[in-house]
Amino acid sequence: MYRIGELIAHYRHTRGMSQAKLAELVGCSQAQLHRIEKGDRGVSVELLSSIAHQLGIGPATLGGSILVYEQPPESER
C-alpha cells in the first residue's frame, strides 16, 4: 500500500514537475512539500485537493475515498 506522499512524488515525477514548481502552484513551500512526500508531515484535504488538481488527477487517487459533504440548500433543511 502506498502512502499519500509516495503517490504525490510518483505522479509529480511522471509529469516532469519539480517539487519547487508544484509547491509554487499549490501555494506551499518546497520544504513543506518535501516533508509531505517523505511522510514526515500530514496533508490537509484542501492541500491534497489542490495537489491532485495540479497533477491532473482526482484527490481520491492520492488519498483513497475522500467524501465532500455540502450543506443542503436552506429550502431542504
- The structural domains of the chain, ordered by start, are 4-63 (1.10.260.40)
- What's the pLDDT tens digit per position in 38-54? 989 888 889 999 999 99
Residue 68, pLDDT > 50, answer no
Higher pLDDT, 63 or 71: 63
Amino acid 49 reads S
pLDDT of residue 23: 98
33 pLDDT higher than 90: yes
Q: What is the per-residue pLDDT for 60?
A: 85
What lies within 8 Å, CB to CB, of 36 at 6+ separation is 4, 5, 8, 42, 43, 47
| 35, pLDDT greater than 70 | yes
